[in-house]
Amino acid sequence: AVLSAISRMKSRGGEADPEDDGDPAAALALKAYGPYCSKLLAANSMDFDDLLLLSRELLEERPECAEALRRRWPHVLVDEFQDTSSVQLDIVRRLTG
């Protein structure tokens, strides 16, 4: 539950999810978020959310990378599209132009 709350926080740019108000796991996640991110950075590591967020950041800041990927893969298949997050949808949109 705590990692899920941290995941939601990462997708909101580090902000707490208002829907989690009063949830003890979310309160713990809020306290753990900074140290968790620091430990990942110190270990030169990433979690799944970081992979998504940094991929989106790369495609936003380096459009030539997105273009190179579009040329390499002209078709993109998204399984379970109904379950994609807004970050994942941004990545798909950048990959498909």
Dump pLDDT digits (tens) for 51-81. 999 999 999 999 999 999 999 999 999 999 9
Per-residue pLDDT band at 8 (split at 50, 70, 90): confident
Q: What is the pLDDT of residue 15?
A: 78
Say if residues 50 and 84 touch (Cβ distance below 8 Å): no
- Contact partners, residue 89, CB within 8 Å, separation at least 6: none
Per-residue pLDDT band at 14 (split at 50, 70, 90): confident
Dump pLDDT digits (tens) for 16-50. 777 777 888 888 998 999 999 999 999 999 999 99
